[in-house]
Amino acid sequence: MIHAVVISPVLAVRAGVRALLYPAPQHGDPPIEVIAEAASLEEVDPLPEETDLLVLADDSFSTAALRQLLLPLEGQVALLVLAGDREVIRKVPGLPLRTWGVLALDSTEEELYAAVQALDQGMVVASPVFMEALLEQADLAEASIVQAGETMSGLREPLVEPLTELETQVLQYVALGLANKQIAVQLGISEHTVKFHISSIYAKLGATSRTEAVRLGVQKGLILL
């Protein structure tokens, strides 16, 4: 059973999300139960201890308020944001979550249900339009570094040594904005091991930062969008 909490300032949206979460479970899929609803983060503070999934249909949510709400259950809750503004995804990485997803507010029943089941399995879910916004942020951050005085060669040398399968997975999660602790949970390894792999990725790609590693990974076709 997946215990979900639904938050939206619009009553009709809460009702619609609740209805979309209740299709007949597929073979092996855990059923979903909405255990609480609220119009704002403050109304549901504290979250019920049994919360597995927080569904947030509100583009204007406060990152600070959401972080405060999640801290007591750090690492337990998966977050699914339903949004109309593609920039919302930039507010999600770094929150104390088990995993997260961002979908369009007008997602179909099938898309929403599939996303919830994927989150329950520890996966990260994001519609392409939202992922593009996250990668654009990485591009802008790298551009700012370059403008501040760092130089970059116009042509990249090919990889001296290819990334291992695990390093490729780590790089994919870095591109999704996950912190080292979250990557460790996703892959079932220690945070120290994640740091080791990231250092190896930097060396193989010739990168000096996470944003540069993501950009190079995209350029070399190592990251799936």
**Model confidence pLDDT, tens digit, residues 126-182:** 877 777 766 665 554 444 434 434 433 333 445 556 888 888 889 988 888 888 888
- Predicted confidence (pLDDT) per residue in 42-87, tens digit: 999 999 999 999 999 998 899 999 999 999 998 899 999 999 888 8
Return the amino acid letter for 219: Q
Neighbours of 24 (CB within 10 A): 7
DSSP lists the bridge partners of residue 103 as 82
pLDDT band at 225 (very low <50, low <70, confident <90, very high): low
Q: What is the pTM of this model?
A: 0.65
Domains in the chain, CATH or no CATH each? 2-125 (3.40.50.2300), 131-219 (1.10.10.10)
Which residues are within 8 A (CB) of 195 and not within 5 positions of it... i.e. 6 or more apart? 180
CA quadruple 130, 134, 140, 143: dihedral sign:
negative
Q: End-to-end distance of the chain based on CA atoms, in angstroms?
A: 30
Instruction: Find out whether 95 and 50 touch, Cβ atoms under 8 Å.
Output: no
Instruction: Find out whether 126 and 101 touch, Cβ atoms under 8 Å.
Output: yes
Rounded CA-CA distance 225/166 in Å is 18
β-strands 53-56, 2-7 pairing: parallel
